[in-house]
């Protein structure tokens, strides 16, 4: 069965998510109580509907409980965001992800059982700060508070070296899970692969080990 997504609130955040889903070819139901927003997304989403998400009857008639994943992106009207989240969780929607406006909002959403709470500005600021503060790291994914996956460009120091030469696992406790080379990606690279200019290492490990690798290994 095809995955079914719904996005409630078509501001910048919800709107961008809608566009991404559409690009990826997923079915997405877009909901907003502002008719102008609904018109704007009529050609983007599979279906765009004008509705007040806090109206239980209307949401029921849209069959909202049949969606695998609903994103609530109502920021300003915290009360509406909270009530919508409550209704979605009560109706049994499997995954409800909600944009939070502040820490109080976050706390309430947590109590209601929101499956993921997002602070777009704060989360992005953290990313940007971390990327700027580390010259060598191209990108990263935070897996937990202690573990990440980072992308590190191959420096002069690494060119023509093999993974065995670098001995990354033994010296730093990190694993190179892939090497990006142009449009190719070498998944689970063998130990004697020789690194080239332009290669990007995709490395998984504990943050402290990754930092050590970044400082001393590359
Ligand atoms: P962003 O920061 O992502 O740009 P925003 O600050 O523009 O968002 P808000 O004004 O908080 O976003 O709301 C996002 C959208 O949610 C708006 O388009 C608004 O019409 C819609 N919205 C607000 N309340 C409801 C509701 N009860 N039901 C459906 N949509 C709603
Ligand atoms: P290990 O003892 O760590 O399991 P191994 O004896 O199987 O490694 P090889 O796979 O030949 O040896 O690799 C030699 C060394 O090269 C490893 O000890 C490790 O430090 C490093 N190495 C090889 N592949 C990777 C990788 N994908 N990521 C990080 N380090 C690697
Ligand atoms: Ca906003």
The H helix count followed by the E strand count for the chain is: 9, 11
pLDDT of residue 129: 84
CA–CA gap between residue 97 and residue 65 (Å, rounded):
14
Contacts for 13 with CB less than 8 Å, ≥ 6 apart: 73, 75, 99, 118, 120
ipTM over 0.90: no
Mutate which of 30, 53, 74, 105 for ligand 1 pocket (most atoms within 8 A of beta carbon): 74
Ligand 2 atom closest to residue 189's alpha carbon, by position in its atom list? 27
Phi, psi of 151 (to 5 degrees): -110, 125
CA–CA gap between residue 69 and residue 179 (Å, rounded):
32
Domains of the chain in sequence order? 4-122 (3.40.50.720), 134-217 (3.30.70.1450)
Ligand 2 atom closest to residue 164's alpha carbon, by position in its atom list? 16
User: pLDDT means per 10 residues in the chain (218 residues)?
Assistant: 88 97 94 98 97 97 94 96 97 96 97 97 87 85 92 93 95 96 95 95 95 90
Q: Quick one: DSSP state of residue 64?
A: G
Helix locations, the chain, DSSP H: 12-24, 35-41, 56-61, 78-90, 103-112, 120-133, 163-166, 168-172, 207-212
Ligand minimally distant from the alpha carbon of residue 11: 1
Mutate which of 13, 17, 77, 99 for ligand 1 pocket (most atoms within 8 A of beta carbon): 77
Residues within 5 Å of ion ligand 3, judged at the Cβ atom? 75
Our answer on whether the CB atom of 80 is closer than 6 Å to any ligand 1 atom is: yes
Q: What spacing in Å lies between the alpha carbon of 145 and ligand 2's midpoint? A: 26
pLDDT of residue 1: 60
CA–CA gap between residue 32 and residue 125 (Å, rounded):
27
Our answer on whether the CB atom of 32 is closer than 6 Å to any ligand 1 atom is: yes
């Amino acid at each position: 069965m095809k995955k079914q997504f719904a996005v409630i609130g078509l501001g910048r955040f919800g709107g961008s998510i809608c566009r991404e889903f559409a690009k990826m070819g997923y079915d997405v139901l877009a909901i907003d109580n502002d008719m102008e927003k609904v018109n704007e997304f009529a050609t983007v989403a599979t279906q765009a509907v004008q509705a007040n998400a806090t109206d239980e009857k209307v949401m029921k008639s849209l069959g909202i409980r049949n969606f695998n994943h609903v994103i609530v992106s109502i920021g300003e009207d915290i009360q509406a965001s909270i009530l919508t989240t409550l209704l979605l969780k009560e109706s049994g929607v499997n995954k409800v992800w909600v944009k939070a406006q502040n820490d109080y909002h976050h706390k309430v959403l947590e109590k209601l059982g929101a499956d993921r709470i997002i602070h777009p500005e704060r989360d992005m600021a953290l990313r940007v700060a971390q990327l700027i503060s580390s010259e060598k790291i191209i990108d990263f994914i935070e897996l937990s508070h202690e573990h990440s996956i980072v992308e590190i460009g191959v420096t002069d120091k690494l060119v023509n070296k093999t993974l065995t030469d670098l001995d990354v696992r033994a010296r730093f406790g990190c694993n190179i899970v892939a090497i990006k080379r142009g449009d190719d990606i070498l998944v689970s690279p063998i130990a004697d692969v020789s690194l080239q200019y332009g290669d990007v290492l995709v490395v998984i490990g504990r943050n402290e080990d990754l930092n050590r690798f970044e400082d001393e290994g590359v």
